[in-house]
A and B are shown apart, each in its own frame.
Chain A
Amino acid sequence: METLEPILAEHPFIKGLKPEHIQLMVGCSRNVKFEAGEFILREGYEANEFYIIRHGQVNLEIHSPKRHAVTIHTCREGDVLGWSWLFPPYLWHFDARAMELTRAIALDAKCLRGKCEKDPSLGYELAKRLAHVIEHRLQGATLQLLDLYSSTD
């Protein structure tokens, strides 16, 4: 039976992991598909999964009563969606909505956290890779806050 291993192994977030680590992750993963407009994550809900995007576009959104939904970031093919699954209290901080047909691999967070606890070398590798994603997002958020293109500079 064909497994998700070759797809996972080629994804930029996973590429370079030891084969035994990829095998461990395959055991926690499943293929998922989201239609345009479908919500993948909802703020405040339990972060039970995270997603490795294969194709499509996902917008991260935050709601405010006066401004309605504001899009704060776009994830695309090659990106990883969600890191709240790794940090207590394991709740999503944003909404995420598919903007077009999106295919991804969902990883069961509880399953993966358990495997990371049992095999700290896997946990360390994933933490490093997620830290890299978070570093990029933090840099991006800082530049967004600076409002570089504002005409009031």
Chain B
Amino acid sequence: MKTTVAGPMVPTMARVNRVRKETHDTFTLELHPAYGQEIHHFAAGQFNMLYVFGFGEVAISISGDPTNPKPLIHTTRAVGNVTKAMAKLKTGDMIGVRGPFGSAWPVKHAEGDDVVLVAGGIGLAPLRPVIYEILANRRKYGKLILLYGTRTPSDILYRKELESWRSRLDMEVYVTVDRSSVNWQGNVGVVTTLIPKAGFDPQQTTAMICGPEIMMRYVALELQKRGVPMSSVFASMERNMKCGIGLCGHCQMGPTFICKDGPVYPYDKIRELLLKREI
């Protein structure tokens, strides 16, 4: 979306083209710019501030295809006042958009490497643009491995797309759930249990992690045990963001502002911060 004309604090208008229910508490919005405005290109990992009029504004990662950014796609979970109101939007409703903001996944930097993506729960949404981008340039990368953990089989996000990716010969997809009845034929166990068995070259791997912080800490530990250098591990952080441009301080984490310096960080830059109890 255009942010340059009116400044980064003024939302531009977009129209809801489609609302797709993903699971019982997650949904995807497809947005088209209104009033002839254009969609700004975004990089995988960046986010927009979405404004639901009368309710407020929240930061939502962009989960569409960076190589084909139209329409603008966001997947989120209805968990707070704003996202619950967002979930009730209908086709044709208007929404405010500011962005894209923040740092990106190191997709270019990963060229030539095996790429291991480790996602937990809704954390698959910010990693989906990485998958699109790598699949669009598949020859530039080694193995592409997605390790996805979620709560139960009914919480699996993008299920059809996961099935489609799994059926490809140039991508490995492993899904696990934390709990299940016996009707589920797949894997049960936390996502960290998938790491020792995934076939990648630790010294030639770029790993990208997105999910709850505790999960990311344990995933990083497992990757370290496999021999992946911490300088090759990247994580996406989440805090309560407001301005999106590093001015208000709401998303400060130690010396960094997640909206401006993150949300994607090299893991060795934030490891110490993640272990601090005070922040």
Contact = CB atoms under 8 A, between A and B. Distances in A.
B253 interface: no
Nearest to B121: A149
A148 B214 contact: yes
A149 B180 contact: no
A144 B180 contact: no
B193 A140 contact: yes
A60 B78 CA distance: 33
B155 A149 contact: yes
Nearest to A140: B190
Contacts of A71: 179-182, 184, 188
A59 interface: yes
A3 B77 CA distance: 55
Contact of A144 (B120, B122, B178): B178
A143 B176 contact: no
Interface in B198-239: 211-212, 214-215, 218
Nearest to A72: B188
B151 A140 contact: no
A149 B215 CA distance: 9
Interface in A65-84: 67-74, 76-78
Given A67-B181, A72-B179, A143 B211 contact: no
B181 A68 contact: yes
Contacts of B189: 73-74, 140, 144
A144 B179 contact: yes
Interface string A115-153: 000000000000000000000100110011011111101
Which of A68, A78, A97, A136 gathers the greatest number of chain B CB atoms within 10 Å?
A136
A67 B182 CA distance: 10
Given A71-B181, A143-B215, A151 B188 contact: no
Q: Which of A57, A136, A147, A148 has the most C-beta atoms of chain B within 10 angstroms of its own C-beta?
A: A148
A151 B211 contact: no
Interface in A89-113: 97, 99
B187 A146 contact: no
A148 B79 contact: no
Contacts of A68: 181-182
Given A70-B181, A73-B189, A139-B218, A78 B197 contact: yes
A146 B179 CA distance: 12
A61 interface: yes
B93 interface: no
Contacts of B192: 139-140, 143
Interface in B90-142: 120-122
Interface string A16-56: 00000000000000000000000000000000000000000
Interface string B158-177: 00000000000000000010
B38 interface: no
Contacts of B186: 74
Contacts of B193: 136, 140
Given A144-B179, A149-B120, A151-B79, A73 B215 contact: no
7 contacts: A57-B187, A68-B182, A74-B188, A146-B214, A148-B211, A149-B122, A149-B212
Interface of B: 25, 77-79, 120-122, 149-151, 155, 176, 178-182, 184-190, 192-193, 196-197, 211-212, 214-215, 218
Shortest Cβ-Cβ A-B pairs, 3 listed: A149-B121, A149-B151, A69-B182
Interface of A: 57, 59-61, 67-74, 76-78, 97, 99, 136, 139-140, 143-144, 146-151, 153
Given A143-B214, A144-B190, A151-B79, 5 more contacts: A73-B189, A74-B187, A74-B189, A144-B179, A149-B121
